[in-house]
Amino acid sequence: MGLLRDWHYVEKAVQIPALAELIREALIHALFVRDDRVLPRDLIADLNRVPPVTVKVKEDAEVRKLVRVLNGQESTVSLGLSAEDYHYFRTQLGVGRTREFGVTMRPRTLLTYDWIVPEQRGVQLDFTGYAGIEFAVDGHRAIAQVGALWKRLYDEASERGHLVPFVPTVPLDFAVGDALYGDAPFASFRGGFASYVNALRTISAYGQRARIGFEEVANYGTAYDLLHAAIPLAGEFFIPLSAALRLEAKPAARKTLTYGFDDPAKLSAGLDRLCRFGPGVNWVHITDAVAAKILRPATPPEASTVQVSLGATTTGIAAKEKALDVAMVGFKTKSSETPNPYDVSADAYRKTADTVARSLFVGEVHVPAKSFGEFLGKVRAFGDQSAAKAGAYANLHETGSVSTYPFFSAPKDRTKVYDLSKGVRAIVTRTPGAAFTSRLAHLWDEEPNFLRRMSLVRSLKLEIDEAHVVQPLISP
Amino acid sequence: MVSYNLVPLRRLPEAVEKAMEIRDKLKLNGSVQAHIVDTTTAALDPYVLMDDTKPSGGTALGFVKRMGDAAFKMEGHPMGLGLFLVFNLRKMHGNATSAYSAVKGVFDPRKKINGGKTFEVWTKYPWPGLRSIPPPGMAIGLEVAAILRRVKPTRDRFVRAYEHTKEG
């Protein structure tokens, strides 16, 4: 979601002689919170330019044609617009002047915040209406268009005997595409969203249909694994239109077991043991008391709640539950009746998502399972200090890492987001083995190897998107 | 010699049949192994014996080419894109091929790492025109090997030995 553009912009801005005195972080602060007193006029102008044209996509041919127009291969006449729209399109974009036009994808739901440098007078694609889902009848696969809602995919897959293995750690009403050009945190116990993507159907910067990966089979051994390299930043290289997803068979018996913990040390130890649990765990969702209250207002929350989705045969599920109880030893309460955030009606899910979305999210923190309880305590204390009550949603991975999304009950203004992000980063630097990933965290990072990696990714973008169409980079 | 391929799980029985058919057509001795990779994918790894003591031994390479083509027809793909299978790159990735070359260009601009094996074929000959050959050249070579293998009137000694043991 425009990470490379923001990163490139900051990299170039610090080289401007007038800004060379300003330390990098002060510049990022000024750009992020829009402190126009500090910024030169040209930079303010860049930040004010937004894409004036939004195209609601209905079919991929439209995107192909649009890209070919934007990269100069075809004229605007070929778009077949009405006279009024034609005039609007040309004047808004400034067609005829010697300038580049970019195209950007608008995420349906953003967990954190928008990019800093907007697409400069280009076109924004709205995929809300491009939301078809095609399930395979002879296997556990689906091809979901990027506008398809995750919840719809989840429910329809279940009706057809499939299981969508990945769930959004923060239960917002995300579309599938939000994981490709937004910040949707889809994951399961066994892997991240990318591990369930067999292929992406995309449009290249030259307006060609380009399939990355294979729709029916895994992508191993086919030259470089471009698919999994590109997925987190797919919208920087191509225009993703659909994702071929690997689903699983719906297990004969499923159960959501809810464990309440009041001791952070016992919680951490339980999660650490759970990482070594064999097959059968679909996802492990963790909430603190604040998050639990948002998800289940009627249930009195424990200090921490761990929900484990188990899937097994009808005869095997009892044994799995017993083994799980052993792994989670130290819990204060246990229930098999508490509803999980995902297996509810679409209306109820949306309603909860609306409440969840009111919180201020700063990004993702990877914490070793062993330190999760301690980390949660630190975030809570930081929230209290900042007059912004803190909470967290998290997801345990079998690798022993907990993917955590801290949130704060605070107004979503950019200054607050910046300050709270900084506070979370400070906690993360004091937590061994933890890592903070967010737009701001990436921009702040000045570790030489990280900068080298980012520079390689930027070169890759410039090679793949030689036409400078897909979220093109801009320099101040 | 092993041929690694991924095929859709639903087409695994067909893929096993096809591997045996190709093996028999090329008069080779070998076996078919397969395993499940994930909920959509099966790995098919048939292997055949190659008699590298005879000049005709190399023709067994045609088996790998034919198996790769069969995997493509079944919506799967062969695995690996080394020197001999570089011509499959475009078949695999279609319009996205240039994006794969971009990865190589960015990470290894001087082609120092495994050069001449993924996007082009380098030969050991230093003369212009022969220094590198277009990838389809390898495809033609392997196809010729498969044809030679098919028309070879005698079976490999491995096959003969195996049949002899079976009869005995």
Q: Residue A289: which CATH number? A: 3.40.462.10
A448 within a domain of the structure (yes/no): no
Q: Are A377 and A468 part of one and the same domain?
A: no
Residue B20 sits in which domain range? 5-167
User: What distances in angstroms separate CA A423 from CA A296, A368, A408, A427, one per listed residue?
Assistant: 28, 19, 12, 6
Chain A residues whose beta carbon lies within 8 Å of the beta carbon of residue B5: none
ipTM associated with this complex: 0.88
CA distance B54 to chain A (A): 31
Reply yes or no on whether the pLDDT at A152 is more than 90. yes
Which residue has better confidence, A80 or A169?
Answer: A169
Residue A2 sits in which domain range? 1-250+453-476
Number of domains into which chain B is organized? 1
Q: Are A243 and A257 part of one and the same domain?
A: no
CATH of the domain at A147: 3.30.465.10
pTM for the full model?
Answer: 0.93
Residues 309-348 of A with CB under 8 A from B: none
Contacts A–B by Cβ distance under 8 A:
101
| Residue among B10, B92, B102 minimizing CB distance to A139 | B10
Reply yes or no on whether the pLDDT at B162 is more than 80. no
| Residue among A204, A210, A463 minimizing CB distance to B106 | A463
Number of domains into which chain A is organized? 2
Task: Tell which of B36, B95, B118 to mutate to test the A interface (max A CBs under 10 Å).
Answer: B95
List b or e across A284-309, with b for residues whose CB sees 16 or more CB atoms inside 10 angstroms. Answer: bbbbbbbbbebbbeebebbbbbbbbb
A139 and chain B: CB distance < 8 Å anywhere?
Answer: yes
Q: Are A457 and A432 part of one and the same domain?
A: no
Chain A residues whose beta carbon lies within 8 Å of the beta carbon of residue B36: none
Chain A residues whose beta carbon lies within 8 Å of the beta carbon of residue B102: 460, 463-464
CA distance A470 to chain B (A): 14
- What is the band of B168 on the pLDDT scale with cuts at 50, 70, 90? low
Reply yes or no on whether the pLDDT at A192 is more than 80. yes
B8 and chain A: CB distance < 8 Å anywhere?
Answer: yes
- What is the band of A51 on the pLDDT scale with cuts at 50, 70, 90? confident
Q: Are A125 and A260 part of one and the same domain?
A: no
| Residue among B76, B79, B105 minimizing CB distance to A216 | B76
Q: Are A273 and A236 part of one and the same domain?
A: no
Which residue has better confidence, B140 or A2?
Answer: B140
Q: Are A225 and A310 part of one and the same domain?
A: no
B2 and chain A: CB distance < 8 Å anywhere?
Answer: no
Q: Are A360 and A316 part of one and the same domain?
A: yes
Reply yes or no on whether the pLDDT at A20 is more than 80. no
The predicted model gives A286-299 an average pLDDT of 94
Least trusted range by pLDDT, from A321-330, A428-437, A452-461, B132-141 = B132-141
Q: Are A213 and A138 part of one and the same domain?
A: yes
Reply yes or no on whether the pLDDT at A97 is more than 90. no
Percentage of chain A modeled with pLDDT above 70? 99
Q: Which two tokens stand for residue A426?
A: 């400070």
Q: Are A180 and A316 part of one and the same domain?
A: no
CA distance A190 to chain B (A): 12
pLDDT, position B52: 80
Q: Are A158 and A264 part of one and the same domain?
A: no
DSSP calls for B5-37:
EEEEGGGHHHHHHHHHHHHHHTT--EE--EEE-
